[in-house]
Amino acid sequence: MARKDRYDLIVLGAGPAGMTAGVYAARKQLDTLILTGDVGGQANWSSGIENYLGYIFITGAELVEKFEQHLRQFDIELEFSPAKKLNLADDGFSVETEAGQTVYARAVIVATGKSPRMLNVPGEKEFTGRGVTYCATCDAPVYAGMTVAVIGGGNSGLDAAVQLMKICPKVYLIEAEPALRGDEIVRDQVVNAENVEVLTRAAVRRVFGDEFVKGLTLEILDTGKVYDIPVQGVFVEVGLDPNSAIVKDLLTLNEYGEIPIDCAARTAIAGIFAAGDVTAIPEKQIIIAAGDGAKAALGAYSYIVRLPKAAIKDWARPVT
């Protein structure tokens, strides 16, 4: 449970956006609480990252560990109790946590990220980070020279296939519907690629392997035929859902359930900022989320110091 019930700033989420926001808030000497269910978010799932400046190659888990070590150099309270709902309150905002506590802040940063839609088949969870991945942009280079499968025939699946077919000898593109979806120009690239095999009306029934993925069990839906294909990588591209339910009663979300923000990470309500994958930013990347977290924290600081309230130190008080 959080040590106090009032803070200058509450950050919701501890992925790259939330942790970066925390570091920047600490450097501005804001009394900050981070509420989260885990540390790292989707970044933990990346088996290899080659596009985060300063690291030629690093696993997602290793990068998250570096982030957390940096964060813990500062006097920031990190509470493993996710936010359940954000509300307006006197002099700021209140946050109800899953643990049943209500905490207050003068400003809030929503950095709750997105959750990949999962296949929910045997072996998927067990091999996540060991051959099963949810981000082709993050992980494709790690699978160069391997046989891989992309699950999903929409735009994200097609984009993943295009990335992978340039570096992999064989790519299976698996779609449960009768035809691929997504943009026609990208569909044509994929369908005409010699090293891509498109399987429609096909569903994954199992991921298997030993230490790492070795294959998939597929079912052809029209015939009921079940068989295995050998792959070393599985890219699940069936969509992402933004974790924005906690603000849906306060903010108008876009058609995808994301939080619209401006270039300063501000939402439509003064004092509420948002950063990372939960927002309507066009690209979902670790480095972009981290940058947005920095902008959100700096914006929150500017907002707080301009409030016509008592000194910041008088706002925070211990739980009685």
Per-residue pLDDT of the chain in tens (320 residues, 90 and over written 9): 788 899 999 999 999 999 999 999 999 999 999 999 999 988 876 767 778 999 988 888 899 999 999 999 999 999 999 999 999 998 899 999 999 999 999 999 999 999 888 999 999 999 998 999 988 877 899 999 999 999 999 988 998 999 999 999 999 999 999 999 888 988 999 999 999 999 999 999 999 999 999 999 999 999 999 999 999 999 999 988 999 999 999 999 999 999 999 999 999 999 999 999 999 998 888 999 999 999 999 999 999 999 875 444 444 444 33
**Cβ pair 299, 266 in contact under 8 A:** yes
Strand, helix or coil for residue 9: strand
Polymer length of the chain: 320
Tell me the two tokens of residue 157: 């699946």
DSSP letters, 134-202, are S-HHHHGGGGTTSEEEEE--SHHHHHHHHHHHTT-SEEEEEESSSS--S-HHHHHHHHT-TTEEEEESE
* Domain at 268, CATH number: 3.50.50.60
**Cβ pair 155, 186 in contact under 8 A:** yes
Q: Would the pTM of this model clear 0.85, i.e. be above it?
A: no
Domain co-membership, 125 together with 231:
yes
**Cβ pair 71, 47 in contact under 8 A:** no
Domain co-membership, 259 together with 208:
no
143 assigned to some structural domain: yes
Residue 61 has a pLDDT of 85
**The Cα angle at residue 20 between residues 16 and 24, in degrees rounded to 5:** 175
Residue 42 has a pLDDT of 82
- Which residues span the domain enclosing 137? 118-236
Q: Which residues are catalytic?
A: 135, 138-139
130 assigned to some structural domain: yes
Residue 47 has a pLDDT of 62
Domain co-membership, 16 together with 87:
yes
Boundary residue ending a domain (207, 236, 265): 236
132 assigned to some structural domain: yes
**Cβ pair 37, 82 in contact under 8 A:** yes
Residue 51 has a pLDDT of 84
Boundary residue ending a domain (194, 209, 236): 236
